[in-house]
A and B are shown apart, each in its own frame.
Chain A
């Protein structure tokens, strides 16, 4: 027994090293910009770059748009399937899993052929509609995670009883959806939202091929042209991912505590 525990520790130590060493390496590298001493110059340089601010704001707005569209699309659908169309669940689940099967680059390739400026729906000919197309592409990327999160949330509550109770009290469908169902799956939506944010914020393929000034293409540009700024950006991206995952945990736990007694 003693021996097997030793093996576990060894596995854990190797795993931890694999996880920590690149982070330490990146952090150390990001401090090297001033020769001879460590400094935060690389971070200063990144923050003072207006392209950084612009692209980060753009991607943040994109992420928010993606979350709003995603929630509006997924919550009513998952609710309706749960309530009325149970036999449709396998089909809907299959569709939500498709983005894991079809690589992102293939999806955006299809967009460029189907919605280019000479097509029946020229979405890429105007900036606003290209942005919308980008947001839609992100919704598809986030679909597997968003749907899973919301569906799990809906299964945990009694959708039918809640709906009937609300109907008996005279609520319309909008009231049911927004004031009864939505608040009950808030935790699930939030965790889906943070995961979506983590996926969207640094996304490269879609934004680059649709030619939008997002954070991902900016990262690529900096990576190709600068020495120390990329590692500073990597450290920041890591902190951001960490924050998103941490928030998911915090909200998940808050829900558990509320339901415990």
Chain B
């Protein structure tokens, strides 16, 4: 018994740190979300989240994160498939992995600057398209400081992230399964429909959810790109922390609570799906 008590001392610093700088601060906001200014229990803040301005902020965040996660997952899957199973030269895979490691970490403000310099009104691609194809993307209504622009920018770290986290799953597809299905007379389509896809879908969906959560909590890129013209939830929360724009601190806590709720749900589903996929992909 004394032994076990001593053993706990070894992890005490970590647990104290986690409690003080991770769990308690979050808990403070969660509890605050259910309180009125006098500290009494209330659900009013939660109801107040359903006002149009706040709902639209959540909704734009969900749309941008969802779109960038979906498109990122599809393109990322294509790339991961190409290097793992596509019969490309062997040197391409480690190169792509290194590139992906860099690109998935190239986020925040510099990423916004890069896209402004590329697809902004005087950016290289914009200018070249006008010069060589007489095609002005801004004449089509495109705007980098919008839903489309932000999604396009997020894809820059979403695609490589998908490549990084999905490759192990594709590696887990055993050659024997394919051979066995071929011997049994299955077509390529049948193999994918009845063997590979049922095994892969939890990983693919799980990775997509991770991409969603990754984009949902991001702020710096959007802030630098759109200022406050695109009111995503993180930017609204940022403004609330800086200057109580909602004129109700407890509503601010509820705002944070809503974010935790969404990312928590996403991650919970991811963990559940990972449990499913690990049954096959060992």
A residues at B contact (CB < 8 Å): 1, 4-5, 7-9, 11-12, 14-15, 18-19, 21-26, 28-30, 73-74, 76-77, 80-81, 84-85, 88, 92, 95, 97-114, 136-137, 139-140, 143, 195, 198-199, 202-205, 209, 216, 219-220, 223-224, 230-231, 233-234, 237-238, 241-242, 244-246, 248-249
Contact = CB atoms under 8 A, between A and B. Distances in A.
Interface string B96-133: 10110111011011111111111100011100000000
A235 to B, nearest CB: 8
B114 A231 contact: yes
B144 to A, nearest CB: 11
B11 A80 contact: yes
Contact of A220 (B25, B82, B109, B123): B109
B278 to A, nearest CB: 15
B117 A84 contact: no
A189 B113 CA distance: 31
Most buried by B among A77, A98, A105, A108: A105
B117 A26 contact: yes
A245 B98 contact: yes
B86 A26 contact: no
Interface stretch (B48-56, B195-203, B259-267): B259-267
Given A15-B159, A101-B213, A137-B21, A25 B263 contact: no
B272 to A, nearest CB: 14
A38 B115 CA distance: 20
A53 to B, nearest CB: 18
Contacts of B114: 22-23, 25-26, 231, 234, 238
Interface of B: 7-8, 10-11, 13-15, 17-18, 21-29, 32, 75, 78-79, 81-83, 86-88, 92, 96, 98-99, 101-103, 105-106, 108-119, 123-125, 155-156, 159-160, 213, 216-217, 219-220, 223-224, 227, 234, 237-238, 241-242, 252-253, 256, 259-260, 263-264, 267
Contact of B21 (A11, A88, A111): A111
A107 B14 CA distance: 17
B260 A238 contact: no
A233 B11 contact: no
7 contacts: A8-B86, A14-B75, A19-B103, A136-B17, A233-B113, A244-B105, A245-B102
B179 to A, nearest CB: 15
A22 B155 contact: no
A5 B15 CA distance: 51
B25 A107 contact: yes
Given A12-B88, A18-B159, A245-B105, A234 B10 contact: no
B32 to A, nearest CB: 7
A81 B12 CA distance: 11
A104 B108 contact: no
Given A5-B88, A25-B117, A103-B217, 4 more contacts: A12-B83, A107-B26, A110-B26, A224-B227
A84 B102 CA distance: 37
Across the A-B interface, the 5 shortest Cβ-Cβ residue pairs? A110-B25, A8-B86, A25-B118, A103-B217, A29-B117
A220 B24 CA distance: 30
Nearest to B21: A136
Nearest to B15: A95
B217 A85 contact: no
A77 B14 contact: yes
A24 B238 CA distance: 32
B10 A84 contact: yes
Contacts of A7: 82, 86
Contacts of A14: 75, 78
Taking each of A1, A19, A233, A246, which has the highest tally of chain B beta carbons within 10 Å of its own beta carbon?
A19
Contact of B109 (A23, A26, A97, A223): A223
Nearest to A137: B21
Q: Which of B21, B160, B237 has its CB near the most chain A CB atoms (within 10 A)?
A: B21
Nearest to A84: B7
Contact of B110 (A25, A80, A237): A237
